[in-house]
Amino acid sequence: MFEFKTKLGRGGRIVIPAEYRQALNLQDGDDVILRLKDGEIHLFTPDQALQQAQALVRRYVPPGRLLSEELIAERRLEE
In a domain, 72, yes or no: yes
User: How far apart are the C-alpha atoms of 58 and 76, rounded to whole Å?
Assistant: 24
Q: Say whether pTM exceeds 0.75.
A: no
Residue 4: inside a domain, yes or no?
no
Note the pLDDT tens digit of each residue in 12-48.
999 999 999 999 899 999 999 999 999 999 999 999 9
Domain range for 65 is 10-78
Residue 24 included in any domain: yes
CB 8 within 8 A of CB 14: yes
Report the domain count for the chain: 1
The CATH number assigned to the domain holding 25 equals: 2.10.260
- Please report whether residue 49 resides in a domain: yes
Give the pLDDT confidence of 58-74 residue by residue, as tens digits. Answer: 899 998 999 899 999 99
The answer to the question of residue 55 being in a domain is: yes
Higher pLDDT, 2 or 78: 78
